[in-house]
Amino acid sequence: MSDFGLDISPRPDLPAIVARWQREIDEPELRAGYSAILTAGDAHACWRWLLDLRRRDELATPTLANWIETDFFPRLVGRYPSPVRLAFLVSPRRAGFEATEGSAASITAGSQAARGYVTSLFTDEAAAYAWLAQ
């Protein structure tokens, strides 16, 4: 599936949903993309997601951070038999950036299984897949 500048591929062999942004996007596209990933997770009963952010810039804004915390993440609680595992794949350069509100680095710092999700930040895709398989 490709939309919102995003390719979403179920990978039953992993098992995981792999979502790769293919271009720069705006905030409404990011929200729509996250909703599409959730729909794919539901369709495949898959709570392991690799989110590849390497082809787009960080969209860290207070508004987006608030949406993620108050709208998106609460929809994950109790949705699957296990907390959603979100592996954020970023470039090594981006991994070195300071965490700002709403950035992938700040989201991974707030990972909480009790809230329905766990997250981690990766620069190596194989390591991300290994973590998702845990």
Cβ(89)–Cβ(131) below 8 Å: no
CA distances from 132 to 10, 31, 126 (A): 14, 23, 10
Residue 100: the pLDDT is 45
Rounded mean pLDDT of 40-49?
Answer: 97
More confident residue, 35 or 2: 35
Question: How confident is the model over 2-12, as pLDDT tens digits?
Answer: 567 899 999 99
Rounded mean pLDDT of 17-31?
Answer: 91
* Both tokens assigned to 87: 């592996």
Question: Domain 2-132, what fold?
Answer: Transcription Regulator spoIIAA (3.30.750)
User: Is the pLDDT reported for residue 42 higher than 60?
Assistant: yes
Question: How confident is the model over 48-92, as pLDDT tens digits?
Answer: 999 998 887 776 778 888 898 899 999 999 999 999 999 999 888
Residue 105: the pLDDT is 46
Report the C-alpha gap between 94 and 99 in whole angstroms.
10
* Both tokens assigned to 94: 């981006």
The dihedral over CA atoms of 27, 111, 3, 128, expressed in degrees to the nearest 10, equals 130
Q: Where are the domains positioned within the chain?
A: 2-132
Question: How confident is the model over 103-121, as pLDDT tens digits?
Answer: 454 455 555 667 788 989 8
Percent of the chain with pLDDT over 70: 81
CB under 8 A, 24+ apart: contacts of 9-14? 10/40, 10/43, 10/44, 10/46, 12/44, 14/48, 14/129, 14/132, 14/133
Residue 1: the pLDDT is 47
Looking at residue 112, the DSSP 8-state letter turns out to be B
Q: By three-state DSSP, how is residue 90 classified? A: coil
